Amino acid sequence: MEKNREEQLNEILVLFYFAYRTFTKEPDRILEQHGIQRVHHRILFFIARKPGLSVNELLATLEVSKQALHAPMRQLIEMGYIKSEPAEYDRRVRELRLTEKGEKLEKQLSNVQRKKMDAIFKEAGVKNEEVWKEIMKKIIENE
């Protein structure tokens, strides 16, 4: 790779790192107050997007092992943020839903990030928002 291009890409990587750090800073403070971590936020976020999500669907979405998910899931259940119930269509399948307490926390966490993104995109404009989404999709596709 050409040295100049490498430096340009390093600048992008630095920006990406600091942007992510800034994006997660306030939610991390909120999580810390509740004695939980980012993995818990991800769990709450995806259950909020799809109530009734099965444990297997959550595992696939987060791309983690059952072992990696077990402890944070147990904590969230014990703390009263989520409930895990057998599915009506198959009692072996566990469906996940946020409790009222879980909905409140998830909204608090995600609203911080939604407001930040909304302000940025209002300033940057719709065209730049679409470009940003395309870049994020390309990053995901190139996994």
Q: Is the pLDDT of residue 8 over 80?
A: yes
Q: In angstroms, rounded to a whole number, what is the distance separating the alpha carbons of residues 98 and 11?
A: 40
**What pLDDT score does 50 carry?**
96
Q: Is the pLDDT of residue 1 over 90?
A: no
CA 20 distance to own-chain centroid: 12
What's the fold here for domain 39-141? Arc Repressor Mutant, subunit A (1.10.10)
One-letter amino acid at 105 equals L
Give the pLDDT confidence score for residue 16 in this predicted structure: 95
Domain boundaries, the chain: 39-141
- The whole-chain average pLDDT of the chain stands at 95
DSSP structure class, residue 53: E
Residue 44 sits at the vertex; the CA angle it makes with 40 and 15, to the nearest 5 degrees, is 70
Given this model, what pLDDT does residue 13 score?
96
Burial (CB count <10 Å: 0-12, 13-18, 19+), residue 96:
buried
Give me the mean pLDDT over the 72-93 stretch: 94
Span 69-82, average pLDDT: 96
Does the structure show a pLDDT above 80 at 118? Answer: yes
Which contiguous run of DSSP H or E holds residue 54? strand 53-54
> pLDDT exceeding 90 applies to what percent of the chain?
94
Which residues does 77 contact at the CB level (< 8 Å), separation at least 6? 83, 84
Residue 37: band (very low, low, confident or very high) from pLDDT cuts 50, 70, 90: very high
Q: DSSP letters along 77-105, please?
A: HHTTSEEEEE-SS-TTSEEEEE-HHHHHH
